[in-house]
Amino acid sequence: MTPNELKLSAQTDPQPPAGLSPEATTLWLIKADRWEEAHQIAQDIPTRIGSWLHALLHLIEGDTGNAGYWFARASRPAVRTSDIDSEWEKLAAVVLPG
């Protein structure tokens, strides 16, 4: 699945496609504006990608201090709220096999 296909699915489908990884499911939920569900999954992914997703979620929430903490845990530079979409795209490029 490509990032564009994932975004389209999040806009049209009531549930994420079957077989997505937890990371891809989190990205889908972000685009479906289902923050709480995305956060539940991201906080249970014990990897740098999980921390990066967690950082993005707190950035979306507007909690830049907490986002900065999670960006550091992910070994990623912190970004501004104006960069949310490009950060989602960067994550999608790493997470999605297509």
Q: Model pTM?
A: 0.94
Contact call for residues 53 and 59 (beta carbons, < 8 A): no
Tens-place pLDDT, residues 42-95: 999 999 999 999 999 999 999 999 999 999 999 999 998 889 999 999 999 999
Nearest to 57 by CA among 29, 82, 22: 29
The residue assigned the tokens 């014990």 is 46
Tens-place pLDDT, residues 20-33: 999 999 999 999 99
The 3-state DSSP class for residue 18 equals coil
CA distances from 66 to 2, 59, 95 (A): 29, 8, 22
Number of domains in the chain: 1
Residue 29 structural domain: 3-13+22-95
* C-alpha angle 13-16-19 in degrees, rounded to nearest 5: 135
Q: What is the DSSP string of 19-69?
A: T--HHHHHHHHHHTT-HHHHHHHHTT--SHHHHHHHHHHHHHHT-HHHHHH
